[in-house]
């Protein structure tokens, strides 16, 4: 089988994660990596036994595709060069720093017939993937993504750094156009917003309330989804998903893993509440994500999180940032 020859642009913490996962994926051959930092190039060459390239241009000559794992401010510059060299790209979230840059990358990729996948990794979290077998039609979503302080990623607002994960998940579940956004946020330790909350109202009446913080006392990545007769809770860190369903007493409801947890009476009718805990694998979300990217190229399929998804999430995040400034 022909393997996809890949290179990694950016040899920081996340860049190293890309390298180690590519080494484990049968569909890919990791050719090498590039970083502007000479010491980082030397370190990755020794640690992973791969080539380190002095320039991005020299690496692009040797690969079919490239993972772009550089600071957000450099996404567009690196992605444009890769596309102009006819290389498929995986670009970490957010797709770019500016909406106009995302639009230019989309135009360039379509012109050259190249694939762009955006690294919204929570789409590949096994806890979220476990919902594929269920009909999800949210009416209200509440998400909390909190993290201990870490100097990495401080070049962008917490909205683009953390909250954008949940923005993308929400937009993947609610197809209705956004009607209104209200948001607030504060700067605490960096030069940009460190804590933010946004309320998004959709044309179909659905509502999402999103909180993101990078100066919390604990790590938390949780989402609660409310819909007709269902309540879903997802813990992205512990990889735990629970689905509560309510039915009339005489309604038929049968599934292998459903447990009757409560019975109650409402408006003269007896109701039954069932709990389902779908199977969740221990698979590495980044590995699943990169494997999906490689497969899309090798088998000429659509990527699962494309540039339009990335652009939509970025546009929403930038609108939230604007609301905070106002």
CATH T-level topology, domain 126-279+316-325: Dihydrodipicolinate Reductase; domain 2 (3.30.360)
Chain segment 288-322, per-residue pLDDT in tens: 999 999 999 999 999 999 999 999 999 999 999 99
In degrees to the nearest 10, what's the CA dihedral of 194, 18, 237, 222?
A: 50
Q: Compute the distance between CA of residue 203 and CA of residue 96 in angstroms, rounded to an integer.
A: 27
Answer whether 160's CB lies under 8 Å from 322's CB.
no
Domain borders along the chain are 4-123+285-305, 126-279+316-325
Task: Inform me whether the pLDDT recorded for 139 exceeds 70.
Answer: yes
Task: Inform me whether the pLDDT recorded for 263 exceeds 90.
Answer: no
Q: What is 4-123+285-305's CATH number?
A: 3.40.50.720
Q: Compute the distance between CA of residue 256 and CA of residue 49 in angstroms, rounded to an integer.
A: 47
pLDDT of residue 10: 97
Q: Compute the distance between CA of residue 196 and CA of residue 204 in angstroms, rounded to an integer.
A: 25
Cα 283 to chain centroid, rounded: 16
Report residue 153's pLDDT band, with 50, 70 and 90 as the boundaries. low
Alpha-carbon distances of 252 from 2, 113, 249, 269, 272, rounded to whole Å: 50, 50, 8, 15, 11
- pLDDT over 70, % of the chain: 96
Chain segment 25-62, per-residue pLDDT in tens: 999 999 999 999 999 999 999 999 999 999 999 999 99
Q: Compute the distance between CA of residue 102 and CA of residue 88 in angstroms, rounded to an integer.
A: 15
Reported pTM: 0.94
């Amino acid at each position: 089988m022909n393997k996809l020859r890949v290179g990694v642009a950016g040899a920081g913490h996340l860049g190293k994660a890309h390298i180690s996962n590519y080494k484990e994926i049968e569909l890919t051959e990791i050719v090498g990596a590039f970083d502007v930092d000479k010491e980082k190039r030397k370190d990755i060459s020794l640690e992973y036994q791969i080539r380190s390239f002095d320039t991005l241009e020299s690496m692009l000559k040797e690969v079919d595709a490239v993972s772009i794992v550089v600071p957000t401010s450099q996404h567009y510059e690196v992605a444009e060069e890769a596309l102009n060299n006819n290389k498929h790209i995986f670009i970490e979230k957010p797709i770019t720093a500016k909406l106009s840059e995302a639009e230019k990358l989309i135009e360039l990729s379509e012109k050259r017939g190249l694939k762009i996948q955006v690294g919204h990794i929570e789409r590949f979290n096994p806890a979220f993937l476990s919902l594929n077998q269920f009909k999800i039609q949210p009416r209200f979503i509440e998400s909390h993504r909190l993290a201990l302080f870490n100097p990495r990623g401080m070049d962008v607002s917490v909205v683009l750094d953390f909250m954008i994960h949940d923005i993308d998940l929400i937009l993947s579940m609610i197809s209705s156009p956004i009607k209104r956004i209200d948001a607030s946020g504060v700067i605490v330790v960096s030069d940009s917003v460190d804590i933010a909350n946004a309320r998004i109202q959709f044309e179909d009446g659905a509502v999402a309330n999103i909180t993101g913080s990078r100066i919390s006392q604990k790590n938390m990545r949780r989402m609660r989804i409310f819909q007709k007769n269902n309540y879903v809770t997802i813990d992205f860190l512990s990889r735990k998903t629970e689905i509560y369903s309510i039915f009339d007493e005489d309604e038929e409801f049968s599934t292998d893993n459903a447990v009757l947890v409560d019975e109650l009476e409402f408006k003269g009718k007896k109701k039954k509440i069932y709990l389902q805990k779908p199977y969740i694998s221990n698979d590495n979300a980044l590995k699943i994500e990169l494997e999906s990217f490689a497969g899309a190229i090798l088998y000429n399929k659509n990527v699962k999180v494309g540039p339009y998804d990335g652009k939509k999430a970025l546009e929403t995040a930038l609108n939230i940032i604007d609301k905070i400034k106002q």
